[in-house]
A and B are shown apart, each in its own frame.
Chain A
Amino acid sequence: MSAEAWQITWFTIGVATLSTLLILPFGVALAWLLARRDWPGKSIVETLVALPLVIPPVATGLVLLKLLGRRGLLGGWLEKTWGLEIVFTWRGVVIATAVMSFPLLVRTARVAFENVNPRLEQVARTLGSGPWRVFASVTLPLALRGLVAGALLAFARALGEFGATIMVAGYIPGQTATLSLSIYHLVQLGHDGEALGLLAVSVIIAFAAVWGSEWFLRRRTS
């Protein structure tokens, strides 16, 4: 494999990992709130979170581009206040993949929390544990399988993200080029051989992620 292919591979793995870690606390917290609490506006938040699953990724990318661009509401503020550029940088790739994989994490984690018998949490409360200790010692361990599955699903989605990423970050070799963007670019140039090489790498990483999650689930069950 060429140095460039290695760079693209590590960049993609790094971005997918970072985006998964970024959404993990928010996704888990939101999933718990959706599973265990009733609050005003809950159904609106549920719908908003699911939107990236149903609207075309390119459209989500366009929304992000308008929001995070220099003249965008958020992008302008970030650049003025922190000097941070998002669009057409690696940060843009992370944000695009995070937004696209967020719904998968939240949906899986929500089901995991819903599957924890609330009676167990109630009993833990009567045994003297406050809400945080109940969460850490009862809810979280019992939902862990689903949470890990959700995180791996989000990671896998981030690995393969294309539509939103190309809108927000474009294809800049060495800076924003992920595996999927590079495969597309190479096919456009007619370099099918190199594209197939990157395709093989994608398959190996995705296989490892899915196999890893299956192994983890089996290990916890047995």
Chain B
Amino acid sequence: MSVELQGVRLQLARFALAVNATLAGRITGIFGASGSGKTSLLEVIAGLRRPAAGVVRVDGVTLTDAPAKVFFRPERRGVGYVPQDGALFPHLSVRKNLLFGHGEKQIRPTGLNFDHVSEVLEIASLVDRRIETLSGGEKQRVALGRALLAAPRWLLLDEPLAGLDAPLRDRLLPYFVRVRDEFSIPMIYVTHSPDEVMALCDDVLLIEQGRVEYQGPPRKVFVPATGARYELSRGGLVR
């Protein structure tokens, strides 16, 4: 199970994204400051952006090959995508949001059914609600459930906890752990929070100005800080 990025290049406003990496963790973190190119990289994997150069392979299947002009459309990639704000469809109920991509796929991993996903994410009581009545945390759980019910091969999560306050983030983190443990769907988790990387990820890519500065275990680059939190080690890698 891997996402291979070979010579992926995409011109952004201030710099070019240039990435060579193989992501093979159960949850791979993509960590970097705002505007470092994290979201753009995720969009390249999801097929929402075409890179100028490079190859993207997911589990051995070539989804993008810029020189050979191979490009699978987003709907044919089998990747679940959860953006920062959840992007729930405001004109549909929670239930219809959850079922939006459900049933599109022939092969469905066991356990990925409506009842089980609702139970794991504790959203069964929300299904008849309107989107605008949900709290921030509820929205993110519904967005995660919706992506899961489309039975993706990979889940791409773009700062799903950014914009929420710290106590709420702490309450939501266990849901991602449960999803990781229950459904065995590999995830790529974009964040600028060292705590989220340490809590969830077994592999991390540090991105700065569109380039990978480090890839490996999170504990080598994050050190404990005050208040049971973590921070990026100032001197770079912790040897």
In angstroms, Cα B47 to Cα A128, docked, is: 12
User: For the complex, is B85 an interface residue (Cβ under 8 Å from A)?
Assistant: yes
* B-chain residues with CB within 8 Å of residue A200 when the two chains form the complex: none
Q: Are B91 and A141 in contact (CB under 8 A)?
A: yes
Instruction: Give which listed residue, B77, B100, B105, contacts A124 with CB less than 8 A.
Output: B100
Instruction: Give which listed residue, B80, B89, B105, contacts A126 with CB less than 8 A.
Output: B80
Known A126-B48, A126-B80, A128-B101; judge A142-B75 contact (CB<8 A).
Answer: no
User: For the complex, is A125 an interface residue (Cβ under 8 Å from B)?
Assistant: yes
Interface residues on B, range: 20 to 34
Q: Are B91 and A123 in contact (CB under 8 A)?
A: no
B152 to A: closest C-beta gap in Å: 8
* B-chain residues with CB within 8 Å of residue A120 when the two chains form the complex: 87, 89
Give the nearest-CB partner of A141 in chain B. B91
Q: Are A126 and B77 in contact (CB under 8 A)?
A: yes
Q: Are B90 and A142 in contact (CB under 8 A)?
A: yes
The secondary structure that dominates the B interface is loop
* A-chain residues with CB within 8 Å of residue B89 when the two chains form the complex: 120, 124, 138, 142
* A-chain residues with CB within 8 Å of residue B81 when the two chains form the complex: 122-123, 126
User: For the complex, is B46 an interface residue (Cβ under 8 Å from A)?
Assistant: yes
In angstroms, Cα B232 to Cα A170, docked, is: 78
* B-chain residues with CB within 8 Å of residue A141 when the two chains form the complex: 91
The 4 closest A-B pairs by CB, nearest first: A127-B101, A128-B104, A125-B74, A126-B81
Q: Could you pull out 14 A-B pairs where Cβ atoms are within 8 angstroms?
A: A119-B83, A119-B85, A120-B89, A123-B81, A126-B75, A126-B80, A126-B147, A126-B156, A127-B75, A128-B75, A128-B101, A129-B100, A141-B91, A142-B91
Q: A127-B80, A142-B90 are in contact. List 8 more A-B contacts (CB 8 A).
A: A122-B48, A126-B81, A126-B150, A127-B100, A127-B101, A127-B147, A128-B75, A130-B75
